A and B are shown apart, each in its own frame.
Chain A
Amino acid sequence: MRKAEIAAACGLMALAAFFMSYAVALPIGWQPGRGPGGGAFPFWLSVGMLITGAVILVQQAMPAAAARHKGRVYIDRQAVAQLVVVSASLLAAVALTPWLGVYITLPLFVLFHLRVVGRQRWTVIAPMVIGTPIVVFFFFEVTLKILMPKGVTEPLFLPLYAAFF
């Protein structure tokens, strides 16, 4: 828990420094006649984050923090594997979609999620895998006229476009 606390605080402080490096591109001080510059708000907020991060680090060094952390684990060990698998599969689906299109990645994601993570029966999986792209297509593309990314599958949809638009 203690390590996680320190890592979180350091991460946020690094983020603050990163924001500051971008914020200084615009004036951060007082502009005569125009008030505070465009970079002022993000810059001074990030300074605040940096200071707050330092306060959190100091708190961690105090004896009271150790007492508070006693017996607490950051993330349950048994769950870590499952969390990594779910997160990685989500990221993979997001990464592959611009190339393969949602109508390939979403059913694959659902299939993976239900079978590998959820260990569901095929009678549950099949309708979900088939239903997801159909619902997405009719709700977003046909009704809302929002075109989903299709990647290489785009040509396959030409006849469908002709039928529904």
Chain B
Amino acid sequence: MDIISLLADGFALSFQPLNILVLVLGVTAGLFIGAMPGLGSVNGVAILLPLTFIVPPSSAIIFLCALYYGAMYGGAVSSILLGIPGASTAVATTFDGRPMAQKGEAGLALIAAAVASFVGGTISVILFTLFAQPLAEAALAFGPAEEFALVLLAFTTFVGLGGDDVAKTVMMILLGLALSTVGLDQISGQPRLIFFDMPGFYSGISFLIIAIGVYGVGEVLATIEETRGNPKVTTARIGFRDLADGVRKLASTWRVMGFGSVLGFFVGMLPAAGATPASLMAYGLARQSSKTPEQFGKGAVEGVVAPETANNAASTGSLLPMLTLGIPGSPTTALLLGGMVMWGLMPGPMLFIEQPQFVWGLISSLYTANVVAVLVNLALIPLFVWALRMPFPILSGVVLVLCIVGGFAPDQRWHDVWLIAGFGIVAFLLRKADYPMAPLVLALVLGPLMEKSLRQALISAQGDVTTFVTRPISATLMAISAALFLAPFVRMMLRDRRAARPAE
């Protein structure tokens, strides 16, 4: 019952007027950002993070989490109305959402997406509440060796499960880690990698600079390249009767919602997986287990429900390792982590002991965020239809201006704005050559922790590298990392053998 009283205390914090206000603003902003094709939660968090200095740290984090949630709801809107996923996490929603809209059931599809998101979000927050405390307590026993092994595990999930080219993924991880070492050496305090002796590099390259460059400038360039011709918006009008009707129809999909939520939550916890694969897996499972699989792809309501529950559940799932272990489960949570560190709230097991009020305030605000999101989502549907007609240059102009001023605001160095513009253009060019960006951002956020834990572990073991494999928890994590790292090679060998067999 401990959890209930902690949660009750948390609600006291999240129901403060300022926090309610930022929650509503965050959810609304997130809904719009999620609904805009080309912008997702990670872009929203990257671009708006510098603006959150206006409120105290705990409210800022609530705002960003609300934005994250809202974006998960909003992604479905353009998937259904435009047939273009509003964010990559909503790709699977287009499969049946678009056909439903074309059949004239856009309203039902939107209601289904909103309700499914709500169910997925709520079930996963309950799971989150149950798992957070025990996981944080277990993580208290972690020393530097375990921390290092855990960070390594986070990176190897990208290699093993990421699905991108292995060499390119490794390259981006190494680049992110190398960039994170710019500035002052944490242990000796000596300056290093001060390129061209420019003073701006003494304070290092903030994760935020790379994130705004990659997800702000880079994203705008990528969208300019991809969008040709104007997509057609399907209109949708929703009355109270449609709503009641929709909810009744959805009652029969409880089973799909249930497993979508649980699956999403656990897949979301893995750093490389996250909401997009979770929603695709849930869609696949829903089709396999359906009595009418032939309806999928032609506008089956379950085809909207499954991915939408899963992607919302995954977004909560990815918050769990971020908050309890300090290892983010997705690029967006990596940015949240970086933001929290900036505000002096170091995520990890100690946070639960030192700042219980903040932690539980945040968890309780996730419950509230879900309620707010579903209501705002349904209420603002006409506004979304209008906003989706907004020409992209207006949006991209606003985003670029925000990149400039938002990049300058945190540290007031014009040097950072140069880096944003430069990284943004380079990131776009790399992205077009199939280099994944998520491992880069994650590596930059986790780099300092990884280096510190490696060096501390080695110092305390007097240079004995076996310390990582002789401690039981560290050894287990290392073994999983090794397996994940080797997975793509094993897969390749199996494929080669299979390919060779028919030739014999």
Q: Which residues of A contact B (CB under 8 A)?
A: 1, 4-5, 8, 12, 15-16, 18-19, 22-23, 25-26, 30, 34-39, 41-42, 45-46, 48-49, 52-53, 55-56, 59, 74-76, 78-79, 82-83, 86-87, 90-91, 93-94, 97-98, 102, 106, 109-110, 113-114, 117-120, 124, 128, 132, 136, 139-140, 143-144, 146-149
Contact = CB atoms under 8 A, between A and B. Distances in A.
A74 B53 CA distance: 39
B167 A148 contact: no
Interface in B367-403: 391-394, 396-397, 400-401
B178 A38 contact: no
B397 A128 contact: yes
B7 interface: no
A90 B391 CA distance: 19
A109 B404 CA distance: 11
A18 B228 CA distance: 38
Nearest to B178: A45
A114 B432 contact: no
Nearest to A15: B175
A139 B454 contact: no
Contacts of B194: 22
13 contacts: A5-B433, A12-B171, A23-B193, A41-B454, A45-B178, A45-B181, A86-B224, A106-B405, A109-B400, A110-B401, A120-B394, A140-B409, A143-B54
Tell me what chain B mostly uses at the interface: helix, strand, loop, or mixed: helix
Given A19-B193, A25-B192, A79-B224, A98 B414 contact: yes
B458 A22 contact: no
Contact of B225 (A30, A42, A75, A140): A75
Contacts of B456: 35
Interface stretch (B37-45, B259-267, B417-425, B481-489): B417-425
Contacts of A48: 170, 174
The list of the 4 closest CB pairs from A to B, nearest first, reads A118-B393, A38-B185, A35-B459, A42-B181
Interface of B: 51, 53-54, 167-168, 170-171, 174-175, 177-178, 181-182, 185, 187-188, 190, 192-195, 217, 220-221, 224-225, 228, 391-394, 396-397, 400-401, 404-405, 408-409, 412, 414, 417-418, 421, 424-425, 428-430, 432-433, 435, 451, 454-456, 458-459, 463
Contacts of B408: 146, 148-149
Given A8-B433, A79-B225, A109-B400, 13 more contacts: A35-B455, A35-B463, A49-B178, A52-B170, A86-B400, A87-B221, A93-B404, A94-B418, A97-B404, A97-B414, A143-B54, A144-B53, A146-B53
Nearest to A30: B463
Contacts of B220: 86
B408 to A, nearest CB: 7
B430 A22 contact: no
Contacts of A75: 225, 432
A113 B432 contact: no
A60 to B, nearest CB: 10
- Of the candidates A25, A139, A146, the one having the most CB atoms from chain B within 10 angstroms of its own CB is A146
A46 B54 CA distance: 39
B415 to A, nearest CB: 10
